[in-house]
Amino acid sequence: MTHSVRRIGILTSGGDAPGMNAALRAVVLSAEAAGIEVVGFRHGFNGIFSEDYVPLKKADVLHIIQLGGTILKSARCKQLQQQGGAELAATKLHQLAIDALLVIGGDGSFRGCQAISAFYRGQIVGIPGTIDNDVDGTDFTIGFATALDTALDAIDKIRDTADAFERTFLVEVMGRHTGYLALAAGIAGGAEQIICPEYGDKVDLDDLLQDIKALKRDFGAGSYIIVIAETMYPAGAQALAAEITTRSGTECRACVLGHLQRGGSPVGSDRILGTKLGAFAVEQLLSGNAHMMMAGEQAGQALLYPLVLTGDKKKQADPYLLKWQQQMLQQSETQN
């Protein structure tokens, strides 16, 4: 991969995340400073197939750092997963004289990169952007910090009304198969309980009812907030709340935060992470080091991590906090 890079293609893919625009902006600014042309494919990988792309110059990205969502639009792409899809995408990239492809997304999007790389002659570089934070090789993904603050804002508000009515609340947060958001939002929101995949793959209702009973004995009537990761109760948080109400005799309500968590102006740390990883991706790509790598950050250092390993799910939600939360709950159970 030593040929010189004259034209970069960039796209945002999968669930949008606040800070994606900051990364885009940094890529365009860095590339333009190096005399490299950038084209943005719209609607994720779909833009490659439909040749829906726009030239991106400094002027196009000047005031987007504060915007949530993505100016390029995002999507999941069925065509890429179909027979012959990856080869066709590579052919299109060759025809459009794209020397390198930058993909801002999560591990699903990076699997798409792997498929294309089998047929593509240029470099492919990933930048981790998802509110789920479930990408190996980087401490944080772009968008996680903002989603956490959004979830927290909601939890704090729910606490007010839950206290006023002395209700139990289930607050469902996003995060397919991982509990990064649930754990972080639960800890920072002072939730009485957190239910996420790291504690087991499904809800044990009897156990949960025992916990609620024990906490109510401990703290008296009051609010009891359970932060639950999506997919933990297949019938959904509303159904679980109804079940808790019937079986515990105390009123339980559910609030599903859903896509609200994906929106909003990125917090400072997401703008900074997006800027750093966007700039680093371009720098490394131009030095020829970055083919099939992700630009990530660990312990404050920007680094390259093999794209093929980003979906291994080796990264763990904070084990210290997971343990502490459980200990507090168990202590309350044993006191009763």
The least distance separating ligand F6P from the CB of residue 132, rounded to whole angstroms, comes to: 5
Q: Has 132 been annotated as catalytic?
A: yes
Q: Please identify, using beta-carbon distances, which residue of 106 and 128 lies nearer to ligand F6P.
A: 106
Handedness of CA 41, 310, 272, 185 (dihedral sign): positive
With respect to ligand F6P, which residue has the nearer C-beta, 132 or 149?
A: 132
Q: Which residues contact 92 (CB under 8 A, 6 or more apart)?
A: 48, 49, 51
Q: Which is nearer to ligand F6P, 174 or 267 (CB)?
A: 174
- Dihedral angle sign, alpha carbons of residues 55, 60, 62, 68: negative
Planar angle of CA 225, 133, 52, nearest 5 degrees: 125
Contacting positions for ligand F6P (CB under 6 A): 14-15, 106, 130-132, 174-176, 230, 262
Q: How far is the CB of 261 from ligand F6P (least distance, A)?
A: 7
Q: Which residues contact 200 (CB under 8 A, 6 or more apart)?
A: none
122 vs 129, beta carbon nearer ligand F6P:
129
Tokens of 83: 């027979």
Per DSSP, the three-state class of 168 is: strand
CA nearest neighbour of 280 among 297, 292, 298: 297
Q: Which is nearer to ligand F6P, 130 or 223 (CB)?
A: 130
Measure CA 101 to chain center. Answer: 21
* Catalytic residue of the set 16, 99, 107, 132: 132
> Least distance (Å) from ligand F6P to the CB of residue 73?
13
Give the whole-angstrom CA distance, residue 38 versus residue 100.
10
d(CA 68, CA 156): 22
Strand-pair category, 53-55 with 168-173: unpaired
- Position of minimal CB gap to ligand F6P: 15
DSSP designation for 202: S
Residue 17 beta carbon to ligand F6P: minimum distance, rounded to whole angstroms: 7
Q: Which is nearer to ligand F6P, 151 or 329 (CB)?
A: 151
235 DSSP β-pair partners:
none
Shortest distance in whole angstroms from residue 287 CB to ligand F6P = 31
* Closest listed residue to residue 129, CA positions, set 115, 116, 110: 110
Q: Least distance (Å) from ligand F6P to the CB of residue 259?
A: 6
> For the purposes of burial, counting CB atoms within 10 Å of the CB of 231, is it exposed (0-12), middle (13-18) or buried (19 or more)?
middle
Q: Which is nearer to ligand F6P, 5 or 104 (CB)?
A: 104
Q: Are 277 and 142 in contact (CB under 8 A)?
A: yes
Give the whole-angstrom CA distance, residue 134 versus residue 140: 8
Phi and psi based region of residue 14 (left: phi greater than 0; alpha: psi -120 to 50; beta: remaining): left
- Residue 273 CB, shortest distance to ligand F6P, in Å, is 17
Active site residues: 132
